Amino acid sequence: PAFTWEVRANDRRYHTQSKKKSAFCLSKKKYRGNAIKTAKYNLLTFLPLNLYEQFHRMANVYFVFVILLQTFPEISTLPWYTLLFPLSCLLVIRGLRDLIDDIGRHQSDRNINSRPCEILCGKSFRRQKWRDICVGDIVRLRKDGVVPADMLLLCSSEPSSLCYVETADIDGETNLKFRQALLVTHQGLGSEESMAAFDGRVTCEEPNSRMHSFTGTLEWRGDTHSLDSERILLRGCRVRNTDLCYGLVIYAGFDSKIMRNCGKIKRKKTKLDRMMDRLVVVIFLLLLVTSLGLAVASGFWARVFQEKHGYLAAVYRNTSPAQQAFFNFWGFTILLSVIIPMSMYITLEFIYLVNSFFINWDLGMYYAAKDIPAKARSTSLNDQLGQIEYVFSDKTGTLTQNVMSFKRCCVGGTIYGPGTGHENKQPPGPGPARGRRGEQTVDATLLEAAQSDSDPVLREFLRLLALCHTVMVEERGDQLVYQAASPDEEALVLAARSLGYVFLARTQDTITVRELGRTRTYQVLAMLDFNSDRKRMSVLVRDPQGSIRLYTKGADTVILERLRSRGPSEAFTERALDLFAEETLRTLCLASKEVSEAEYQEWGRRHHEATVLLQDRAQELDRLYEEMEQNLQLLGATAIEDKLQDGVPETIQRLKLGNIKVWVLTGDKPETATNIGYACRLLTDDTEILEEKEISSAPATPSSPSQILQAYWASNNNLSASGDAPGSSHPSQQCPEASCHRSRAIVISGDFLDKILHTGEVLKERRGWPWRWLPRGRTLGSQEQGSLVEKAFVDLATSCQAVICCRVTPKQKALIVQLVKKHKKAVTLAIGDGANDVNMIKTADIGVGISGLEGLQAVQCSDYALAQFCHLQRLLLVHGRWSYLRICKFLRFFFYKTFAGLMAQVWFAFQSGFTAQPLFEGWFLALYNIFYTSYPVLSVGLLEQDVSAKKSLEFPELYVTGQQDELFNYRVFGVTLLHGLGTSLTSFYIARWAFEDHVGSRAVGDYESFSVTVAVSALLSVLVEIVLDTKFWTVLSFLMVTASLLFFCLFSFLTQSIDAFRIAPAIFCFPEASRNALTDPFVLLVVLLSLVVNTIPSLAVHAFRATTGRATVQQKIHLKAKKQPEPSVELKAHVPRGSFRRRSSYAFSHQEGYAGLITRGDSLRARAT
């Protein structure tokens, strides 16, 4: 395809004037600036955008509708401003919360856009800000600096213009990668003057989100040079081991690949929010139906009344029964509108805010080492923390510490390291040396054995560690600084140095090592490079005595099958590998062999011929490498610890017990990710791991496991019933659920995901099987095919105990989360620490950023910020479960008290001729939900606990309650509605029954006294119900209940005083009503009777629930106590089996190509003189 993205070096005018067409035939700048903007609002857009977002809530639309009705005096029962004021308060509170969140995003944008950089201006470089960078600018980068935009590498201070970059913040890989400039720019741009005169033109693909792909050309000096991703420095990379490098900006700002993968900020709503929106519609429809029924009844009643009382015809001369029914319909609508109380939403915002403070103040999530507390950056998602079903986690920096350390080894039938009964020591070492990871602590016995130099196998073992690698060394003062592309290699070289074998220097064809104080220089004859298929690397060297030896290190699965023979030492090493695998250490096998001069001469000749081939060079070299790496002698095995964050295995275990599935999404290699899966107990030795070929390949036999995805596909497509599925009458027989066999896990790559997420090519590659299952005459469109494959894959993945996705891009991470949300309707959480996790964090229902590690991008886009992964268990199992419990109880109590206290208006309509006459005093209606009953419910929303934090962590099974929506759902709402209606019905008709026959010792049979009696009966019933159902009592809880009663007494005295009545009789129209009624013993007995009748059913239900609930908890405690502790790891008797049967814990971070750089001399610095 023709490329349309043209970049001209040092030509800002061209890039600022270039335009491209956009919507509605408008044009805009083609080339963006480098400033980024993640904030949602500015001064002009905040008010309209925020109001637009807020009125997506159905409750707000409902309140506005009621306020509009209140403006019509013919139907209004309350002044319109009495509802406008609380609605305004609600909108202001939520708007301020959104504004505060957006101010944080503005601050983050300013911090990033204001980072310093050096831009070529004229003929010299000047310090400017990231936001000043434009496409076509030449930027100078220094060591440990972050790349500010996607750039073409022009040259660097390294030999052959190499540049080493760390991409952990982009793809999660910890090993260094190298980028190399074109030879023409390396040679032609050696000074600032030549860069200022540089007028090259880059033509390439339009900005896109493909992180590992770039295609383009550079035109300069009449020649055209091809470009690929190996020439590009991506925004967010960090320059390592390179003093200076220079780049031409290709994509800036939001056109850069990492920003294209970041996604957009989305307003997140909880499951309860969405349910409340639907409930508002349901309640409103019930309200309209009730109002309509009462209005129709009022019309019939008016007609009967007018016919019966004809002498009152003059009173109804201007209104017909139909007109009365019409006005009464709207009057009832307004009167009953309080069943969706506005105060509930205001109180909810306060509860969310305070529960967020509890998260911020929790010392159990405070990381003292770096003084980092937990931070709730969003205040409206707390309850959803108690409903998480899937956790999607990054690996590098989230589960791991990015620190590799030499832990154990097995040499000549002896295991060294912790757990062998020996102390560890930090030896003084023969010379100072350091790397990025620091010094290594080694086993004391191993150190003594190495220094005694009595074991020839151990000597060769340590010599291999010092020789077989691609580490570079640099002298800085009196120190040797190791520059390793792989953290594994650095750990091994540092371990060798600690044991007396110090790597000192290397040239293009030599390597110098100090062995126990003796300096020896080896001639490097060949380096057999590492790649992911070979899983090993070798070095062929000639020692000072003239002997030639091959040293090889690699995966046990490839080394063991290339041994000359197997004896007791090899068998013991295999058992040691089993032990290291159980300890989840990263293992490598080390082997060597002596090569005769004649054999080397013959092999060397053919190797040289292969290196100059123009076609099939790589295949021929692989064949020669395979030929040389045979008949090896095993020296031993190393075990490196990829240190996990503190408490990661325990956290994942607790989450799994809480029915939360953990998926690991990483850009790292499959071997590394799988090894970490075992280390953090996501995988166990009993786990059956499904690979890509087993998931998607065509079946060899009708019942083979490779039919797994096909069976899920058929099940989703309802094809099993037809009997056309091959091999079985039902897909479940081909693909049983995980519970039917041992636990399953899948490990897949980003390339495989591409086929599933975009085109469904997994099916197309095997066209035979799915189409055979389709009924005759049925065809599928490409979109339907893709959707079916997506769902089949999601069903398969969610049936597994664990899922590990490797080599995935940031956009793929987000797509995986989106798939699970789409097909499983599950609540998801994403946790990560780098810019590559931002899109995933934004897409998940809950986003958690790990602070203080790779940077602040993930934290700034997250809903919650934690210092370590282990704090996630407390965030979910304690705060999440408590928040869900509190919000659900709050909603249930609020609806109950509203129905119980105010639905008496409906029953009163049957006694008042179906007019919209309110039963209660206006002040009681106004204050009921604000002062009289809100405080006990508020205390439940703030403080309620069913079990302590310790018990919540001890029994994570309790978390399932939130996942299953047990505490608030449509059934619970229906029961609450009936309960409230029952309470109001009882309070109203007991009072009516009592007032029919007896008026007490004084005249209390009036309307006001009846109203007060019903109101007090309902109020006390509500308070007793809340008291009975509250599990966790504090001083504040008692004060809240007491305050409610005191406020009722206080406001009743104030609003019903004679003085208030004299001032405004229309507003204060219940003079002395409460005092008259509540001082009569008969009224008190009526109130007591109502209270008893309302309370007895609740007491019976609570007693039943308490009995069954206690038994359930006891069963869980009993089951937990029966679990036996896990046996300690020990070296068991070896069961003879092929190495392919044993789980390999091989993992090695390395990039192919470093051996070639060394042998060509491209990566070697000239020695300083």
Summarize pLDDT for 725-768 with one digit per residue, the tens.
333 333 333 444 434 446 788 888 888 888 776 644 444 444 44
- Inform me whether the pLDDT recorded for 772 exceeds 50: no
CA distance 383 to 365: 18
Q: 610, 642, 674: which is the final residue of a domain?
A: 642
CB 872 within 8 A of CB 651: yes
Most confident listed range (308-312, 615-619, 1009-1013): 1009-1013
- Inform me whether the pLDDT recorded for 401 exceeds 70: yes
Percent share of the chain, pLDDT over 90: 38
Establish if 309 belongs to a structural domain: no
Do both 360 and 411 map to the same domain? no
Model confidence at 565, in pLDDT bands (50, 70, 90)? confident
Choice between 336 and 594, residue whose per-residue pLDDT is larger: 594
Do both 608 and 461 map to the same domain? yes
Summarize pLDDT for 491-519 with one digit per residue, the tens.
999 999 999 999 998 887 889 999 999 99
What is the predicted pLDDT for the residue at 762? 44
Annotated binding residue at 616? no
Annotated binding residue at 666? yes
Question: Average pLDDT in the 136-165 region?
Answer: 91
Question: Average pLDDT in the 285-292 region?
Answer: 91
Do both 571 and 690 map to the same domain? no
User: What is the phi-psi region of residue 760: left when phi exceeds 0, alpha when psi lies from -120 to 50, beta otherwise?
Assistant: left
CB 646 within 8 A of CB 652: no
Establish if 863 belongs to a structural domain: no
What is the predicted pLDDT for the residue at 926? 79
Establish if 993 belongs to a structural domain: yes
Annotated binding residue at 586? yes
What is the predicted pLDDT for the residue at 436? 47
Annotated binding residue at 46? no
- Inform me whether the pLDDT recorded for 987 exceeds 90: yes
Do both 346 and 227 map to the same domain? no
Annotated binding residue at 216? no
Average pLDDT value for the chain:
82
Establish if 419 belongs to a structural domain: yes
- Inform me whether the pLDDT recorded for 892 exceeds 90: yes
CA distance 1169 to 944: 73
CA distance 165 to 149: 14
Copy the structure tokens of residue 1092.
């008893």
What is the predicted pLDDT for the residue at 708? 57
CA distance 445 to 448: 5
Summarize pLDDT for 34-46 with one digit per residue, the tens.
998 888 888 889 9
Do both 422 and 352 map to the same domain? no
Establish if 374 belongs to a structural domain: no
What is the predicted pLDDT for the residue at 726? 37
Q: Please tell me the total count of domains within the chain.
A: 4
Establish if 876 belongs to a structural domain: no
Supply the Cα-derived Rg of the chain in whole angstroms: 37
What is the predicted pLDDT for the residue at 1074? 82
How many of the other CB atoms lie within 10 Å of CB of 861? 24
Annotated binding residue at 394? yes
Establish if 76 belongs to a structural domain: no
CA distance 681 to 679: 6
Do both 481 and 354 map to the same domain? no
Domain that holds residue 902: 341-364+881-1116
- Concatenated DSSP letters of 294-324: HHHHHHHHHHHHHHH-GGGTTTTTT--HHHH
Summarize pLDDT for 88-106 with one digit per residue, the tens.
888 898 898 888 888 878 8
* Cα dihedral 942/948/952/957 (nearest 10): -100
Do both 139 and 202 map to the same domain? yes
- Inform me whether the pLDDT recorded for 889 exceeds 60: yes
Choice between 692 and 826, residue whose per-residue pLDDT is larger: 826
Q: Model-level pTM greater than 0.85?
A: no
Do both 626 and 689 map to the same domain? no
CA distance 956 to 949: 11
The answer to whether 394 is a known catalytic residue is yes
Model confidence at 108, in pLDDT bands (50, 70, 90)? confident
Tell me the CATH number at 520.
3.40.1110.10
- Inform me whether the pLDDT recorded for 434 exceeds 50: no
Q: 1099, 1116, 1133: which is the final residue of a domain?
A: 1116
Q: Is 895 exposed, middle or buried (0-12, 13-18, 19+ CB in 10 A)?
A: buried
Question: Average pLDDT in the 920-926 region?
Answer: 82
Percent share of the chain, pLDDT over 70: 82
Annotated binding residue at 396? yes
Establish if 552 belongs to a structural domain: yes
- Inform me whether the pLDDT recorded for 248 exceeds 80: yes
CA distance 371 to 362: 13
What is the β-pairing status of strands 400-411 and 414-416? antiparallel
Do both 540 and 454 map to the same domain? yes
Q: 756, 780, 807: which is the final residue of a domain?
A: 807
Annotated binding residue at 807? yes
Do both 620 and 534 map to the same domain? yes
What is the predicted pLDDT for the residue at 701? 40
What is the predicted pLDDT for the residue at 1128? 35
- Inform me whether the pLDDT recorded for 446 exceeds 80: yes
What is the predicted pLDDT for the residue at 54? 87
Beta-bridged to residue 480, according to DSSP, are 433, 475
CA distance 162 to 688: 43
Question: Average pLDDT in the 594-616 region?
Answer: 88
CA distance 74 to 68: 13
For residue 255, which amino acid is it? D
Question: Average pLDDT in the 226-248 region?
Answer: 90
Do both 630 and 706 map to the same domain? no
What is the predicted pLDDT for the residue at 1135? 33
Query: Long-range contacts made by residues 189-198, C-beta under 8 angstroms, separation at least 24?
Result: 189/154, 189/155, 189/246, 190/155, 192/120, 192/123, 192/124, 192/125, 193/123, 195/120, 195/138, 195/154, 195/246, 196/10, 196/120, 196/122, 196/123, 198/9, 198/10, 198/138, 198/154, 198/248
Helices 1035-1055 & 934-943, crossing angle to 10 degrees? 160
Which of 132, 137, 171, 394 is an active site residue? 394
What is the predicted pLDDT for the residue at 944? 93
For 240, the enclosing helix (H) or strand (E) is strand 238-240
What is the predicted pLDDT for the residue at 423? 47
Taking the alpha carbons of 1026, 1032, 1033, 1039 in that order, is the dihedral positive or negative?
negative
What is the predicted pLDDT for the residue at 704? 38
What is the predicted pLDDT for the residue at 765? 44
CB 444 within 8 A of CB 423: yes
Tell me the CATH number at 239.
2.70.150.10
What is the predicted pLDDT for the residue at 1163? 57
Copy the structure tokens of residue 694.
């087993």
Do both 575 and 697 map to the same domain? no
CA distance 300 to 295: 9
- Inform me whether the pLDDT recorded for 77 exceeds 70: no
Copy the structure tokens of residue 964.
């299953």
What is the predicted pLDDT for the residue at 255? 92
- Inform me whether the pLDDT recorded for 393 exceeds 50: yes
What is the predicted pLDDT for the residue at 1082? 85
Annotated binding residue at 623? no
For 124, the enclosing helix (H) or strand (E) is strand 124-129
CA distance 761 to 784: 13
